[in-house]
Amino acid sequence: MGHCPICAEAQSFEEPAGDALRVSCARCGEYTMTGDAAEAWRKRTELPPLSSDDETGRVRRLVGNASGWIHDHPGVVIDSARLDALSTVEPPLQSERAARLLRFLGRRLSPGQYFRGVPFSPFAPQGSVEPEVLALAYTDEPREIDYLVLDYLWRHKGFLSEHPQQAEHLTISPAGWDYLDSLNRVNPDSQIGFCAMWFADPMRSLWDQAIEGAIRAAGYEPLVMFKYEHNNRIDDEIVALIRRSRFVVADFTGQRGGVYFEAGYASGLGLPVIWTCREDDLGNIHFDNRQYNFITWESDKLPAFRHALQNRIEATLGRGKIATAGG
């Protein structure tokens, strides 16, 4: 037990894996980091004594974004190249960060159950913030959590309400539960997870070895339209399938117009869309879509991607009802 090389969280376990370190951090989750990358990150985030507030703030944003991104990509391997990409990660929009905290509360609280909201530390010792909460909000600053929970979710949106007698004890309000439901409302009985992706032969292994298994392991029925590979007049049928689906996994590798269309169509219906792309093609994503929180994959690391995708599906929708082998 030491300190996480990325975020310095003390609740972190590290074990050597070759010349890399396998880390399990209460905040960042599971990842592997090479020795070179750990050393470079230490230099990049080291603050000399008497650093200015600007400099301190810059480093804390760097740590907050990196930790949040790693948390969203369980099992990722961080080498020097990945480290450079990590330094340019942008946090999700404010409303999305707040929604992630509300979903976190929704998973932990039953209706009418109160937590002590000020300071916001509902499930951690008083006065400290639960490590995972910082990662969910892509921040290193507990006061940003206070802002998102108290100013945004409670006072501004009314998604939390205060106990009538006990000041600063909060619960999720009916409006908050409605909002959480609305994130899950379209086709609530459907078990179909539809995949929009480029229909090219090299992509078959992505489907066969990762996406199909991830959707199934999360308890949904995976569906893709490979059989229409050479037919361009498939829009009507795909549109009909999307309308019957519970969610869509959209893989943007190859930057196909059809995938952009299908993801946009599903979003417009209010269906959750899970955005994925091959790591080396991520920079080509059309600008309008860059704000989304992509899960990336690499051809030689499909099992890690499959695991990350299953986690994302379950975190977004909860587990589906279709039984999986072995549980």
Q: Are strands 169-172 and 115-116 parallel, antiparallel or unpaired?
A: antiparallel
307 binds Zn ion (CB under 5 A): no
Q: How far is the CB of 54 from Zn ion (least distance, A)?
A: 24
Q: Are strands 247-251 and 273-278 parallel, antiparallel or unpaired?
A: parallel
Structure tokens at 163: 């106990």
Taking the least distance from each CB to Zn ion, the nearer of 210 and 308 is: 308
Taking the least distance from each CB to Zn ion, the nearer of 30 and 162 is: 30
Q: How far is the CB of 172 from Zn ion (least distance, A)?
A: 28
87 contacts: CB under 8 Å, gap ≥ 6: 44, 62, 66
18 contacts: CB under 8 Å, gap ≥ 6: none
Q: Which of residues 9-68 bind Zn ion (CB under 5 A)?
A: 9, 25, 27-28
Q: How far is the CB of 201 from Zn ion (least distance, A)?
A: 39
211 binds Zn ion (CB under 5 A): no
Q: How far is the CB of 27 from Zn ion (least distance, A)?
A: 4
Looking up tokens 């051809």 gives 299
Taking the least distance from each CB to Zn ion, the nearer of 1 and 323 is: 1
Structure tokens at 160: 């939390």
3-class secondary structure per residue, 18-30? CCEEEEEECCCEE
Taking the least distance from each CB to Zn ion, the nearer of 13 and 226 is: 13
Taking the least distance from each CB to Zn ion, the nearer of 2 and 270 is: 2
DSSP, collapsed to helix, strand or coil, labels residue 173 as coil
Taking the least distance from each CB to Zn ion, the nearer of 6 and 271 is: 6
279 binds Zn ion (CB under 5 A): no
6 binds Zn ion (CB under 5 A): yes
Taking the least distance from each CB to Zn ion, the nearer of 67 and 293 is: 67
Q: How would you class 111 by CB atoms within 10 Å of its CB: exposed for 0-12, middle for 13-18, buried for 19 or more?
A: exposed
Taking the least distance from each CB to Zn ion, the nearer of 144 and 251 is: 144
Q: How far is the CB of 214 from Zn ion (least distance, A)?
A: 24
Total residues contacting Zn ion by CB under 5 A comes to 7
Q: How far is the CB of 275 from Zn ion (least distance, A)?
A: 24
262 binds Zn ion (CB under 5 A): no
Quick one: which segment of 7-15, 97-105, 209-217, 317-325 binds Zn ion (CB under 5 A)? Answer: 7-15
Quick one: which segment of 5-13, 78-86, 246-254, 274-282 binds Zn ion (CB under 5 A)? Answer: 5-13
User: What type of residue sits at position 282?
Assistant: L
Q: How far is the CB of 37 from Zn ion (least distance, A)?
A: 14
Q: Which of 260, 230, 261, 265 is nearest to 245 (CA)?
A: 265
Q: How far is the CB of 4 from Zn ion (least distance, A)?
A: 3
78 binds Zn ion (CB under 5 A): no
Q: Which long-range contacts (CB under 8 A, 24 or more apart) does 103-107 make?
A: 103/180, 103/183, 103/315, 104/132, 104/133, 104/136, 105/160, 105/172, 106/172, 106/176, 106/177, 106/180
4 binds Zn ion (CB under 5 A): yes
d(C-alpha 172, C-alpha 287), whole Å? 35
Structure tokens at 66: 């990196």
Binding site for Zn ion (CB under 5 A): 4, 6-7, 9, 25, 27-28
